[in-house]
Amino acid sequence: MKRQAIAFFLPLAIASAASAADANYPVVEILDAFRDGCGSLENQQTASASLIAAGWTPISRSEETGQLAVFLDFSRKAASEVAESGGVDAGEITPFAKTIAGEEVFMVLDEVKADGNRISGCQLYDFGEERPIPVEQAGSWLKRAPSEIKELPEVRTAEWSPGVRSGHDSFKIFFVPGDSPARQMFNFYGVALKADTLGAE
């Protein structure tokens, strides 16, 4: 009887363990890929070269599809409106793609120049991801606690300053839930990481 019970329940236990493993978001792999890809942000050419060297694939305008295309269209229109308001030079928004531990994610480079200053950004997006990156796990990976945490129904954020690499002013983790009322405003829901740096033009 015991053997029959073990024979019956063992496959269920294995299936449950496999399901639990699948439910775990590959936090360390995603964070490592972000750190290794977002190198120097002194200009977009250097940042692009760093991403390509780390195995990220550039995406042309004609190759932008799905949620990425919707999000980038929204971002470019917003950047154009800011530029038209005067005194701001919004540079190109350049996307890259890579599959990390089974997750298809995208990296986006952007740059804004105004009043003699330059803000360069490098952002990772996992569109539609429902599993947030735990702040405690990110802090353990970074080996320091965040400087700021915000827990709102619309969006959860954690920020570290300075950022993950030398020369990065800040590092932020965002999570926008699928049922967030801000989903339409952002044209995005899921997990996002952001590094940026402020310098002279």
pTM to 2 decimals? 0.84
The total of structural domains in the chain comes to 1
- Is residue 12 situated within a structural domain? no
DSSP state of 102: T
Strands 94-100 and 88-90: unpaired
- Give the rounded percent of residues in the chain with a pLDDT score beyond 70: 86
Between 147 and 11, name the one with better pLDDT.
147
Predicted pLDDT at 16: 33
Which pLDDT value is given to residue 134? 96
Other C-beta atoms closer than 10 Å to the C-beta of 99 total 11
| Token duo for residue 65 | 């599809």
Q: Is 89 within 8 Å of 112 (Cβ atoms)?
A: yes
Residue 141 has pLDDT above 50, yes or no: yes
Is 3 within a domain? no
The per-residue pLDDT for range 70-86, each reduced to its tens digit, is 999 998 888 788 777 76
For residues 92 and 76, what is the distance between their CA atoms, to the nearest angstrom? 8
By mean pLDDT, which of 129-133, 141-145, 161-165, 191-195 is the weakest? 161-165
- Asked whether the predicted pLDDT for residue 10 surpasses 50, the reply is no
CB 172 within 8 A of CB 181: no
The residue range of the domain holding 67 is 25-200
In-domain check, residue 13:
no
Determine, yes or no, domain membership for 17. no
- Span 106-111, average pLDDT: 92
Residue 33 lies in a domain: yes
Q: For residue 171, is it within any domain?
A: yes
Mean of pLDDT values over 85-111 = 88
